[in-house]
Amino acid sequence: MRRVSLRTRRQAAASPLRGSAESLARQNDRTEADGLERIEDEADLADRIAHNLLVPVPASPALVVNGNLSPDHRYCRPWTAAFLADLARAHAALFHHPFEVSSAVRTVEYQKHLRGTNGNAAQAEGDIVSPHLTGATIDIAKSGLTRQELAWMRARLLPLQQAGKIDVEEEFRQACFHITVYKAYAAPGLNAVEPRPSSPGSAPPRATPPPPAPPASPGQIASGGPVSVGR
């Protein structure tokens, strides 16, 4: 029987979670299967926020949002917020400081602009596009994370990916973990097709909120460094 050393296991756990064209295609297929639509522009974004289809990224003492990220773009799907809250609590329990979310929901309109300045950005239109357009995807900045934290992140995220609850693309040009979270991560009550108001006068549907997080101070809400923006 072949024996695997602890060092070998640690190296395997710390291997980068590289993305691929197949991964991006799967993210598009899975978010479509989850019933998510692409968010076209700022008016469409504001409407979904008003109807609780998107919730704030759960800033807390364990999670900061990059200060250069527009306030209207600091939103994500409820199950993505739940994932972030869980990850932030586990990370802070070991490392005693927060990690940074550098990107969250985007619009088709914004993604078109981003492609003009970021060669790594995915398409805004077509069959295969950035899953950020659905609000299910966030980027976690790698800058400021130690080698131990990077290894911990990889070891934490890989089993969730293998379980079909998330997809991860570790990016190096923009130095971030690009993570798409699926409804399978959340409680069964969220596994319905995205509701939309039937008419302009209809009442907003109730959304399941993410788990509560400790209140954040202004310094925890925005770090103000360069934004590491993935696909």
| Percentage of the chain lying above the pLDDT 90 cut | 59
Is residue 226 one of the residues assigned to a domain? no
| Percentage of the chain lying above the pLDDT 70 cut | 68
Alpha-carbon gap, residue 57 to 79, rounded angstroms: 11
Alpha-carbon gap, residue 77 to 58, rounded angstroms: 11
Q: What is the predicted pLDDT for the residue at 79?
A: 98
Q: What is the predicted pLDDT for the residue at 117?
A: 60
Please give the residue range of the domain that contains residue 139. 18-187+209-221
pLDDT tier, 197 (very low <50, low <70, confident <90, very high otherwise): very low
Is residue 192 one of the residues assigned to a domain? no
- Give CA angle at 100 (98, 102), nearest 5°: 170
pLDDT tier, 120 (very low <50, low <70, confident <90, very high otherwise): low
Is residue 13 one of the residues assigned to a domain? no
225, amino acid identity: G
Is residue 170 one of the residues assigned to a domain? yes
Is residue 100 one of the residues assigned to a domain? yes
Q: What is the predicted pLDDT for the residue at 205?
A: 43
Q: How many domains does one find in the chain?
A: 1
CATH number of domain containing 91: 3.30.1380
pLDDT at 202 over 60: no
Overall average pLDDT of the 163-167 stretch: 97
Alpha-carbon gap, residue 144 to 178, rounded angstroms: 16
Cβ-proximal residues to 15 (8 Å cutoff; 6+ apart), any chain: 154
Please, what sign has the CA dihedral across residues 180, 138, 143, 147? negative
Is residue 6 one of the residues assigned to a domain? no
Overall average pLDDT of the 153-181 stretch: 95
